Amino acid sequence: MKFEHFFRSTVGIGLTAVLLLALPFIAALGGQAWVRILDFAILYVFLALGLNIVVGLAGLLDLGYIAFYAVGAYTWALLASPHFGLHWPIWAILPLGAGLACFAGVVLGSPTLKLRGDYLAIVTLGFGEIVRIFMNNLNAPVNITNGPQGITLIDPVSFGAFKFSGTTQIFGFALSGPQKYYFLLVALAILVIIINIRLQNSRIGRAWQAIREDEIAAKAIGINTRNLKLLAFAMGASFGGVAGGIFSAMQGFVSPESFSLIESIMILAMVVLGGMGHIPGVILGAVLLTVLPEVLRYGVGPVQMAIFGKMLVDPESLRMLIFGLALVLVMRFKPAGLWPSPERKRELTEAKP
C-alpha cells in the first residue's frame, strides 16, 4: 500500500520519472553493454508482468511461457529480415506476433486448463520444448527457421524513417540504439504495469483471484472457470508475443538457443522470487534476476583473481552456481518472495505453526 501511495504522489511520480530518464545515461558511463543489460532488465520486467497475469493473478503454473515469446520473436524475424526477403512494418508484425502467440495459448490452453496445477506445469513445459525443437529442426527439407544457426540481419524497430538502431541526435543529445530501445521498453513496461493494476482491481481480476482461492466455490457463484483461465493464459501469451517481437528487433538475431526451458524457468523465478501477484515485487524480481547474473559475470572473475591470484573456478559456472544458491536461499528465508503483497505476507505468518 505504501508503495502505491508513494508512486501516486506527485513527488513519487516526479522522482521515478527523473530516475527512469537518467538511467540509460548513467548506465552508458559504464559502456553501451550496460545500457543493453538495462534494456534486457526492462524487457524481462515486461515478460514477467505478462506471466504474472497467468501465475500471479490466475494462479496457473505455466512453465512454457518462453514458447510464446519465441512465437513472437520468430514472427518478427521471419517477416522482417532478408531470410524470406520480407520487411513488414511494425504495426503489422507486432499485432500479428501477439495474435499468433495468443492463438497458440488458446490451442494449448483449451484442452489442458482443466488439468490439476502440476499437470498443467508439465504440459506447458513440454509445449515449450516442442516449439524449441521445431525451431531447431525446421530448416529441412524446407528451410523455414534456418535451424540452429538462427536468423540474422533482422530489421530493427522503426516508425517511418525513425530507426531504433544506430545513434540519433535529438535536442543535441546523442542517443545510442540501446538507449532508444530503453525508452521504447520503458513505455511498454509502464503500459503493462497499468494493465496489471487495472486487471487486478477489476471484475475479471477478482474472478481470477477467486479461482485461485477456491475453484469449486468460484464455480458455484457462476464463474466460468475454464474460460477465465483460458483468458489469463491467452493474455499472458499475447504479452509474451509482443516481448518476443521487440527482442527479435533489438537483437537483430534470433536462434532457438534463446528459448530454452531455462528461460521459462527464469521468468517464473522472477515472478515467484519477487513476490507473486504483487506488481512491485515482480518488477524487483525481474530487475534483480537480469542484473545479478551480469554483475556476477563481470565480478566473479576479477574477484577470484584478486583473492587467489588465479582463476580457480570457471567464472561462468560459478556465476550460475551463485545464482542457483540465491534462488534457494531467498525461498528459504523469504518464502513469499522478496517483496510480497501485504495479504500474502499475512497469509504466511499466520500459516506458521
- The correct pick among 140, 161, 170, 306 for binding other proteins (CB under 8 A) is 140
- The correct pick among 106, 165, 219, 298 for binding other proteins (CB under 8 A) is 219
- Grid look-up 506447458 returns 124
- The correct pick among 213, 302, 308, 311 for binding other proteins (CB under 8 A) is 213
Closest distance between other proteins and the C-beta of residue 308, in Å?
A: 14
Binders in 54-83 for other proteins, by CB under 8 A: 55, 61
Closest distance between other proteins and the C-beta of residue 227, in Å?
A: 9
Residues 6+ apart with CB under 8 A from 215: 225
Closest distance between other proteins and the C-beta of residue 298, in Å?
A: 18
* Binding mask of the shown chain, residues 237 to 276, with x at each position contacting other proteins by CB under 8 A: ------------------------x---x--xx--xx--x
Q: How many CB atoms lie within 10 A of CB 212?
A: 16
Q: Between 131 and 254, name the residue whose CB sits nearer to other proteins.
A: 131
144 binds other proteins (CB under 8 A): no
Q: Between 34 and 74, name the residue whose CB sits nearer to other proteins.
A: 74
Q: Between 42 and 108, name the residue whose CB sits nearer to other proteins.
A: 108
Closest distance between other proteins and the C-beta of residue 98, in Å?
A: 14
Of the candidates 201, 251, 215, which has an alpha carbon nearest to the alpha carbon of residue 60? 215
- In this structure, the chain runs to a length of 353
Residue 254: beta bridge partners? 151
Choices 6-14, 23-31, 34-42, 116-124; region in contact with other proteins by CB under 8 A: 116-124
294 binds other proteins (CB under 8 A): no
Q: What is the 3-state secondary structure (H, E, C) of 33-64?
A: HHHHHHHHHHHHHHHHHHHHHHHHHCCCCCCC
224 binds other proteins (CB under 8 A): yes
Enter the C-alpha cell of residue 37.
543489460
- The correct pick among 6, 99, 106, 215 for binding other proteins (CB under 8 A) is 215
Decide the pairing of beta strands 162-163 and 168-170. Answer: unpaired
Cβ(251)–Cβ(66) below 8 Å: no
Enter the C-alpha cell of residue 40.
534486457
Give the DSSP H/E element, type plus range, for residue 122. Answer: helix 117-137
